[in-house]
């Protein structure tokens, strides 16, 4: 099975119990690994590790979705713009920060609204660039060198290059996307 077919289950933060227990997430990135636009606005994709998530949805694009209850493992999730900003601030550029995310109901001008609250439980394991494998480090250094020389490098070109033998042949496409986000921030 190719790496592209191995998709992490999607966690919906809306499944966190309102005014209940928080969901503990170990952030597997220091900032959103990808962001884009939809008809609803900007979205931000994060990776994390969860324990006993109420439920997640497994299955790739165009495939049937399967619900998994009380899930423990790696997930992708899409925080709101405000929560994205808060997660980025709390991770402080470090991979592995552990946070609790709460869903709270508050009274607003037009009625009740739900908001996400987040608290940091522990720092990450170091700067993202400090935890690189030798092949990942070489890939980033080569890409930085090319960019300093005025060459443009798209995410797809970077991912394709990450698969070359010179970089060890062990970098997954998901990890390559994370490295590309470090490179372009």
Phi-psi region of 173 (alpha: psi -120 to 50; beta: other; left: phi over 0): alpha
In this predicted structure, the answer to whether residue 165 has a pLDDT above a threshold of 70 is: yes
Least confident of 18-22, 82-86, 159-163, 180-184: 180-184
CATH topology for 6-127? OB fold (Dihydrolipoamide Acetyltransferase, E2P) (2.40.50)
Q: What is the pLDDT of residues 66-120, one digit of tens each?
A: 888 999 989 999 999 999 999 999 988 788 899 999 999 888 888 888 889 999 9
Phi-psi region of 157 (alpha: psi -120 to 50; beta: other; left: phi over 0): alpha
CA angle (47, 52, 57) in 5-degree steps: 60
Provide the pLDDT for residue 125.
Answer: 66
Please tell me the pTM assigned to this model. Answer: 0.64
In this predicted structure, the answer to whether residue 130 has a pLDDT above a threshold of 80 is: no
Query: Hey, where are the domains in the chain?
Result: 6-127, 132-184
Provide the pLDDT for residue 126.
Answer: 54
Provide the pLDDT for residue 2.
Answer: 37
């Amino acid at each position: 099975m190719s790496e592209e077919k191995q998709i992490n289950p999607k966690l919906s933060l809306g499944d966190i119990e309102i005014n209940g227990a928080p969901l503990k997430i170990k952030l597997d990135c220091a900032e959103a690994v990808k962001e884009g636009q939809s008809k609803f606005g900007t979205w931000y994709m994060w990776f994390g590790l969860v324990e006993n998530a109420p439920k997640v949805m497994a299955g790739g694009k165009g495939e049937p979705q399967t619900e998994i209850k009380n899930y423990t493992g790696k997930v992708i999730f899409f925080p709101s713009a405000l929560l994205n900003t808060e997660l980025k601030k709390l991770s402080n550029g470090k991979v592995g920060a552990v946070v609790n995310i709460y869903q709270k109901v508050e009274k607003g001008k037009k009625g009740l609204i739900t908001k996400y609250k987040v608290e940091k439980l522990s720092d990450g394991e170091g700067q993202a660039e400090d935890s690189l494998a030798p092949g990942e480090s070489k890939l980033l250094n080569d890409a930085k060198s090319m960019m300093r020389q005025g060459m443009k490098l798209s995410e797809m070109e970077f991912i394709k290059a990450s698969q070359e033998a010179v970089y060890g042949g062990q970098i997954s496409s998901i990890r390559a996307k994370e490295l590309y986000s470090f490179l372009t921030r």
